[in-house]
Amino acid sequence: MTVSLPVVPAAAPAPAALPPLPGESVPGPVWPASARVLPSGGLAVGGVALAELADRFGTPCYVVDEDEVRARARAWRAALPDGRVAYAGKAFLTRAMIRWVREEGLWLDVCSAGELELAAHAGFPVERVILHGNAKSPDDLRTALRLGVGRVVIDSTGEIARLAALVPPGTRQRVLVRVVPGVEAGAHRAVRTGVDGQKFGLSLDGGEAADAVARVLGQPRLELMGLHCHLGSQIASVDPYTAAVRRLVPFLSALRDLHGLTFPELDLGGGFAIAYRDGEEALDPGEYARRVSAELALRCAHADLPVPRLTVEPGRWIAGPAGVALYRVLAVKSSGGRTFVAVDGGMSDNPRPALYGVRYTVRLAGRASVLPARPVTVVGRHCEAGDVLAEDVELPGDIRPGDVLAVPASGAYHLSMASAYNLVGRPPVAAVAGGRARLLVRRETSADLWSREVTV
């Protein structure tokens, strides 16, 4: 697949902000806004040639454009100036990322004691952290209370008494109740979490959500701030979110009538789509804010309810387009009428094609080619037939071992889901900005992997 980008010198500064994304569902940017084609035909991001990064840090390697991360965080803050934006750390979490979202004024959404402690050690204000999880361990809950987490999202009725029992006397822990609004959305059945029959949340239709609210209100050490829901992932339309509002506001009204209380917060989660290939749709924060805020205000007015403060949790939308994965070609061969390009990474550093069938863009990053493109399948190095990174993508006819390939939209769920399969260490992470690069996370070595063994 060819990429139409302007040719500029390698040291050209990255744009300070994203261009506006008009309309509800628009073709999203596959590459970071700073991406440029160099006179050599190679590609640069953040003012740094990707081939130079491959030589400096080795491959596979994750590259993150700091300016892109910050611009995307600002896009959500600008769209919801009176709301709350919590970065979903499960998408991509390092000390540097924590610092960036802190400096941009975001909250942070975590799913474990490990993510929470990293945030605390990196200096993030823990009172601005939301702890999720359908099965929080005792360590998760104790850590949250010890550090003073801002919100705990209740995901089951049994969790209520367990959490309340751990809260120190004379204090209260603020919580949200995660409900299932019965809205189906998401790009794959494995990531649709807004309907009954999956592991997350408490059903509105089945009565579990109402029961959980009553139980929380009966615990003097818990302070119920409102409701939470999450519909799924890779949602490109605003329609499912407005549908969720239409289900949740009547529930809030019924709770008011039953308990005589209103709640100040409504968290609609995240799941906002990005583009992985040219022409795919991405959700626009401005359109989301306009339509969802209007729907919420209208429904609350009809129900004579105060409008709760809206919280959103973008993770992939902020981190995904800011990341580029780099690989080096190891082999090219034909079989059964297909051409396979094998690289030095694979499902250990990106399991998402195998899990969800995600299709990526791939580009030759280190040189130009005058030969026409041909369809190839980019595969990994692991001992699995399903270790396929990108199927039927267009690459030059002279692709050869040693070439550097770049895969954009790789900033989310790559590092966080990486494994040590075949004892191949996880890749390093490098940040780029303003023509400079620095290492954020070093490559995992064989010594790192062996160090966990305790006997010979």
Q: Read off the pLDDT of residues 202-219 as tens digits, 9 standing for 90 and up.
A: 989 889 999 999 999 999
Catalytic residue among 61, 229, 300, 383: 383
Closest CA to 156 of 141, 139, 171: 141
**What b/e sequence results for 395-408 when a residue is b if at least 16 CB atoms lie within 10 Å of its CB, and e otherwise?**
bbeebeeebbbbbb
Residues 6+ apart with CB under 8 A from 314: 72, 76, 85, 87, 88, 270, 272, 285
**For the residues 4-30, what does the mean pLDDT come to?**
39
pLDDT at 151: 98
Q: Tens of pLDDT along 125-171?
A: 999 999 999 999 999 999 999 999 999 999 999 999 999 999 999 99
H/E stretch holding 265 reads strand 265-267
**For the residues 273-288, what does the mean pLDDT come to?**
93
Burial class (CB in 10 A: 0-12, 13-18, 19+), 298: middle
Q: Tens of pLDDT along 329-385?
A: 999 999 998 999 999 999 999 999 988 888 999 999 999 998 999 999 999 999 998
Q: Tens of pLDDT along 50-88?
A: 999 999 999 999 999 999 999 999 999 999 999 999 999
Does 300 qualify as catalytic in the annotation? no
